[in-house]
Structure 1
Amino acid sequence: MKVSWNRIIGAILVGIVLLFVIIGVFYTPYDPNAMNGAAKSQAPSLLHWLGTDNFGRDLLSRVMEGSRTTFFVAIATVAIGGTIGTLVGALTGFYGGRIDQIIMRINDGITSFPSILLTLVIISVFGIGKYKIIWALGIVFIPSFVRVVRSEYMVQKEMDYVKTAKLMGASDVRILFLHILPNIRPILVSTITIGFNNAVLAEAGMSYLGLGVQPPDASLGRMLSEAQAYLFSAPWYAIAPGVMIVITVLGLSLVNEG
């Protein structure tokens, strides 16, 4: 059996990030939002391992909190887009017909817009904030899941095991979700991984622009935005959240490629 080093390295990187996030749920060295006027923009030290920001907040605690926020947004986004997209894709791919044509034309129309532009349009309706960006990104992610799942269901419904299940009297619901869905698991897992990867980048981008997580809450993108004015005077301010984003995206990409 050939060893997939991409998957191994990716799993290690993702494991490191997940460990960091899980620890941050239960423990942070300092209150992530606690300001200390006497410790502004301090370099990394034994007291503050990653240094402090311009408000004297501990960057290690902020990165732990920001990673948790970014992961929460990404998970919720993929959950919304994946659940709705999988359901719609399964129904249209299995039944086809005029409804399928109408839904896919709508789907094509949505995907014709750049995802960032569509997100900005949705945000302009819902407003800005953590939960608003979750719904905005979730809606944007639906078409990609619809297209992938629909194409898989169109192939699987012609397979012998589906025809056998129909002859044995299995209901459509049972065939849809107990017979076909497990058989498209590999492509679905890959799509979820890519979606999570894109959601991390999208959240970071939206928060960087000030449209996602709002201060004083921390997110990796928000921290990069706040660090922009201190790139030369306090470069450590941007390094920590930037490295965390890179490790997360690289790890997930390697896992998916493997």
Structure 2
Amino acid sequence: MKRNKEINFILGCIMVGIVICILLIGIFYTPYDPDQMDGLAKNMAPNLKHLFGTDNFGRDILSRVMAGSKITFLVAIFTVAIGAGIGTLVGAITGFYGGVLDEIIMRLNDALASFPSILLALVIVSVVDIGRFNLIFALGIVFIPSFARVIRSEFITLKEMDFVKNAKLMGASDFRIMFIHILPNTRKILRTSIMIGFNNAILAEAGMSYLGLGVQPPLSSLGRMLSEAQPYLFNAPWYALAPGFMIVFTVLGFSMLSDG
């Protein structure tokens, strides 16, 4: 069992490292302008000039995958930041104080968690309008309940530990006990939750953009590219292969890393 986790961790590090390298290279260099159209190179199969082929506008798919990955990852990062930040605060307060406050907040939390995440995000986006910033806002709200529940359970356990009781006897404030003494001891479960949340955020962005409710043209994202590639699955399968592989490779890498 331990050996398997070590292998998963090593493979996860390698895969995540490759993804990060692609992202860093994409920030400074792409083989072509991701939005450059070439009417003479529409739906061109992979070749030495265009390694992943071209799309229906003659745009280089490799360049668009590199550019789209940045958008997808930024959406995922900010989504997890909102969900983890607010969720951790909610979980810490409810887990530490308990009582009526815990009951009220956690029932609201359960109400949010009872909706399928994509369905709830669809409702929020339909109210506030489409676009990547509204998508981040919607997915951030959707991710709050899962982080709140995890942190709450950790706080309920840790607040009964001797080091917390000693801190109370020494006159430490509730704020100091919560965020200086208890919160650092949740880092292991929080780190794993963030990785899982990042995976879910990538898939959620891909799903929402695929439905046309996320990233909008002329910007590209992995989900947006999959949506644009759908009509050409039989005529130009390479159009969907590259962004699809990037999503699977990234999610699998982070999953193996979190498991390890």
Cα distance per residue 1:110-168 (max 9 Å; x no partner): 11111111111101111111111000000000000110000100100000000111111
- Within 5 A, what are the aligned runs for 1:84-123? 84-123=86-125
What residue number does 2:49 align with? 47
Give ranges in structure 2 of 5+ residues lacking alignment: none
Q: 2:204 aligns with which of 202, 205, 208?
A: 202
Matches within 5 A, 1:152-167: 152-167=154-169
The 3-state SS of whatever aligns with 2:234 is coil
* Alignment map for 1:1-258 (pairs within 5 Å): 2=3, 4-258=6-260
Q: Distance in 1 between matches of 2:84 and 2:78?
A: 10
Number of residues paired by the alignment? 258
SS at match of 2:40: helix
1:195 maps to a residue whose letter is G
Superposition TM-score, scaled by structure 2 size: 0.97
Q: Which residue identity does 1:145 align to in structure 2?
A: F
CA distance in 2 between partners of 1:241 and 1:184 (Å):
35
After superposition, the C-alpha distances for 1:51-86 in whole angstroms (9 at most, x for unaligned) are 110001111110001111100000000000100000
Q: 1:256: Cα distance to partner?
A: 1.2
CA distance in 2, matches of 1:202, 1:90: 26
* Percentage of identical aligned residues: 69
Q: Distance in 1 between matches of 2:30 and 2:175?
A: 46
Aligned residue for 1:155, secondary structure, equals: helix
The offset of 1:175, in angstroms, is 1.1
- The CA distance in 1 between the partners of 2:50 and 2:176, in whole Å, is 55
Q: How far is the alpha carbon of 1:34 from its aligned partner?
A: 1.1
Question: Hey, what's the Cα distance between the residues in 2 that align with 1:81 and 1:114?
Answer: 16
Runs of 4+ deviating beyond 3 Å: none
Q: Which AA in structure 2 matches 1:117? A: L
Q: Structure 1: 5+ residue runs without aligned partners?
A: none
TM-score of the two chains, using structure 1 as the length reference: 0.98
Distance 2:228 2:72 in 1: 16
Whichever residue aligns with residue 137 of structure 2, its letter is W
Give the Cα separation in 2 of the matches to 1:169 and 1:27. 55
When the two chains are superposed, the root-mean-square deviation of aligned CA atoms in Å is 1.1
Cα deviation digits, residues 171-203 of structure 1 (max 9, x gap): 111111111111110000011111000000000
